[in-house]
A = this chain, B = another copy of it.
Amino acid sequence: MLHLPVHAARPNILFILADDLGWQDTSVDFGPSRTALSAHYRTPAIERLAKEGAKFTQAYSCAVCSPARVSFMTGLNEARHGVTNWLFRGGSAPTTDLLHPTLSPAAWNWNGLQPGPGLAASVSRPVLPALLQKAGYRTMMFGKGHLGAAGTPGADPKLLGFDVRVGGRANGGPASYRGTKNFGSLNRPDDPNRVWDLDSYWGQDIHLTEALTREAAREIRVAVAAGTPFFCYFAHYAPHMPIEPDERFAPQYRAAGLDQNESAYASLIAGMDKSVGDLLALLDELGIADNTIVVFTSDNGALTHRGRTMEQPFTHNAPLSSGKGSHREGGIRVPLVVRWPGLVRPGTVSTTPVILYDWMPTLLEIAGGKTPPDLDGVSLVPLLREPAAVLADRALIWHFPNFFGPLEAKVPVQGPGMGPSSTIRHGDWKLICYYTDNRFELFNLAGDLGETRNLAEREPGRVRALANELTAYLRKYHAPMPVVKATSKPVPYPAEALAAVAR
């Protein structure tokens, strides 16, 4: 049971999730030292959060967005809820997985998260907003949904337990960030990526991030006036593609020498930081900062292809390797800061590995809601209270039986850590198992954050132990697996592949 100071009971929850924001994409240092990348960006509001709260240097999410978001909603690993790749059009098998010459797509849940059973290739489980609603919270979301595929009931977050929903449907990115383009509805009213619910801003010279922030501020005021604790899920579209410059902030980055594209990217981050600052100021104004837990994090690592323009490819999360869509650290490690005067001591740092879906049971515990049994996520309350607390021993697992790439791609994106794979981290050891060629990578993150030295051949015992632990989990929950075209059978589990190599 959680014993909180009285003034911290049933706090408001402001959960801010950035989209495709990398581990080094803020001016908060999450790494062992200041990096060239984090020196690029100026995010004073996120810095303020870290200073007044705790930062987590080993926080994780999934390698792509929909799995991360469905995990956040359900408290489950993607291998269990089955939404292993990003969602788009509902109601039929996806095309993004059809690119490989030897593997057929896994039977993943490409219709996404749904409010009830009945739809094939979908998952229906107790979800965070509905459970908080039951616990007496007013639940509201602003920004990106991407939880259920287009045309399905789950495409509308309202059906998943949000009292208020602004901007979120099935789309995974905004057709445009610009009010002058009606956020994508101007030239094509039925653009599948248009942002909904913001008609009142159409034609105005306003940025999407700003419009969503104003909407959230209004609704927070409503909830506070009503005396109801609120759960505000602010799921920024920024800095996801399209990388359109936010002209309020782009000039300063261009002046600092960033090229057209990277300055635009930085400006999207700066606009997001301004939004965070505005909401913190609002909490101050309303006198609820002490009784509001504020979480800031991201859904996966920064994009390392298409539209990014660093000199070296796959360096956009340096010192981490690779980026979005990869099981290397650059794809899955994310910024995380938490401020909650009720429990979290200012300026603390936690180095314990945590993962996005831990927040589901954490927030339910804090809110006095009912936590479903048998989740993958665990409550982080002990770490919030004491950063040096020791959580029960566990492995973290990632599962991506898919190919990563845009709909129109002819070949999947190729980069370090990419391709159909399952991954396990236990202690400082991390094993990536690739299904296309039954290859293994073993890294020791304590000494090799950049994952440059594959120790698989040198440490066969560790490989075997991790492969066994990973396989037991995948088996237990019937994780969707890629299928070998030649045999129509699933690929071998990591432990099986290893045994075959050993023979």
Contact = CB atoms under 8 A, between A and B. Distances in A.
Nearest to A90: B119
Contacts of A8: none
Contact of A170 (B118, B122, B152): B118
B89 A120 contact: yes
> Most chain-B CB neighbours within 10 Å: which of A91, A114, A117, A118?
A91
Contacts of A120: 89-92, 151
Contacts of A91: 90-91, 111, 119-122, 152
A196 to B, nearest CB: 12
The number of times this chain is found in the oligomer is 2
A168 to B, nearest CB: 14
A153 B150 contact: no
A477 B152 CA distance: 26
A192 interface: yes
> Most chain-B CB neighbours within 10 Å: which of A90, A150, A151, A170?
A151
Interface in A413-428: none
A116 B116 CA distance: 19
A155 B115 CA distance: 13
A93 interface: yes
A151 B170 contact: no
For chain A, give the interface size range.
Answer: 20 to 34
Interface in A176-223: 190, 192
Contacts of A192: 118
A117 B190 contact: yes
A228 B122 CA distance: 41
Contacts of A90: 91, 118-120
Interface string A122-159: 10000000000000000000000000001111010000
A192 B122 CA distance: 16
Interface string A10-40: 0000000000000000000000000000000
Nearest to A169: B118
A190 B118 CA distance: 10
Given A91-B90, A111-B91, A116 B151 contact: yes
A450 to B, nearest CB: 42
B190 A119 contact: no
A121 B92 contact: yes
Contacts of A118: 89-90, 150-151, 155, 170, 192
A90 B91 CA distance: 7
Contacts of A150: 118-119
Contact of A92 (B93, B151, B170, B190): B93
Given A91-B90, A92-B92, A93-B93, A151 B119 contact: yes
Nearest to A109: B91
Contacts of A121: 91-92
7 smallest CB-CB distances across A and B, nearest first, come from: A119-B151, A118-B151, A92-B120, A91-B120, A118-B150, A91-B119, A91-B111
Interface of A: 89-93, 111, 114, 116-122, 150-153, 155, 170, 190, 192
